[in-house]
Amino acid sequence: MLKQMLRFNVTKHSLRCFVSQLASLKEKYPDIDKNIEITDSLEVQRDQNKPSLLEPLTEDISHISSYLKPTYNVAAYANKSETIQQLVKLGVNIAAIEKKKPEAVTDILKLSFDDIKGHIIFFNQLGLDNSQISYLITNNPYIFRETLDNLDVRITYLKFKQFTNDMVSRIVGRNPFWLSYRTQEIDDKLGFFQKTFHLSGKEVRQIAVAQPKLITFDQEKIKVNIFAMKEEMCFSPSDLKEILLKKPKLYMNGQRRLLDSFEYLHNTMKVSLEQIVENPEILTYRKKRLRERHLFLVKLGRDQFDSRKPNYVALTTMVKNDDGTFATEVAKSSVNMYNNFLKSL
């Protein structure tokens, strides 16, 4: 059974090769059909016209070759495909695309460089540099599916909504998927934020530029996070808005992680809600990091987070810097002490 299937595959493959060769020959010699007709009718004449098989062939037939067989990875095509060569010159990581989105590589291979040239020039005109363009293509190779007219419409929409050129180039450079969404979808997404947080137009632009990925982020997850902050952490709607404007990234974190950090800050470290709203970036740090540093400060007796009392430790400086700076400047101890403490946990 397997042998039969293999044989069938082989014949199918050779048939395909033959058809492709025929097609390429037809392109080269448009009157090939005529020749066949003549030779069919006059066999004797053909024998006279056609050179003998023993004579050396001067015509170049090296372009007639079999198809590239299915390969292990895209590297087999790299020396032949101009598109891939140009993309690599630009700095696009083809290997990363192949690993994450294998079907996108077939799309790229089908395109000629002329098809994608327009897109690259378009991004360049938006003000993106080479590294930003390669980042965009590496993360969203599907961008070539969109026509240039569509991309133009989407940019015009942003300009119509009073985004300046710098803002647009930042948005496109930071969020590779932005241009893959239709104008209607982007409008809905921006509207969602404006309605949920009661933002003014200027504030919507501010968060879209500060964290472009947030706008196209999965809305269900954002809703879960809003629920967690509102109901489980008891932040008021105005607090939610302030957190969004100060640290929009928080809404993209996982709910579990957000709750863990909050629980440690509020219940163990006794940090008030107002203090968290003042510096929302402390919520972006993991509970593990908060716990390690807090316990070290507790051990040294320096856990004093009230700004009105002496020996006050600012929350952001506690978690922000690397371990060395934290141990020497915040905890007034040494790095070795801190490392030994970490091993004692």
1 interacts with other proteins by CB under 8 A:
no
19 interacts with other proteins by CB under 8 A:
no
φ and ψ at 51, to 5 degrees?
-65, 155
Pairwise CA distance, residues 18 & 12, whole Å: 10
**Contact pick of 15, 25, 38, 78 for other proteins (by CB under 8 A):** 78
215 interacts with other proteins by CB under 8 A:
no
Pairwise CA distance, residues 321 & 172, whole Å: 30
298 interacts with other proteins by CB under 8 A:
no
Question: Closest CB to other proteins among 79 and 200?
Answer: 79
53 interacts with other proteins by CB under 8 A:
no
336 interacts with other proteins by CB under 8 A:
no
70 interacts with other proteins by CB under 8 A:
no
Pairwise CA distance, residues 277 & 297, whole Å: 23
Q: Which two tokens stand for residue 119?
A: 């897109």
The footprint of other proteins on this chain (CB under 8 A) covers a number of residues equal to 31
Q: Please name the amino acid found at residue 214.
A: L
Pairwise CA distance, residues 163 & 208, whole Å: 10
Core vs surface per residue 131-161: b (16+ CB within 10 A) or e: ebbbbbbbbbbbbbebeeeebeebbebbeee
343 interacts with other proteins by CB under 8 A:
yes
136 interacts with other proteins by CB under 8 A:
no
**Contact pick of 27, 40, 55, 60 for other proteins (by CB under 8 A):** 60
Closest CA to 315 of 286, 279, 285, 289: 279
Point out which span in 18-26, 60-68, 184-192, 210-218 binds other proteins (CB under 8 A). Answer: 60-68
**Contact pick of 22, 32, 76, 298 for other proteins (by CB under 8 A):** 76
Q: Which residues bind other proteins (CB under 8 A)?
A: 56-62, 73-76, 78-79, 84-85, 88, 91-96, 98-99, 288, 323, 339, 342-345
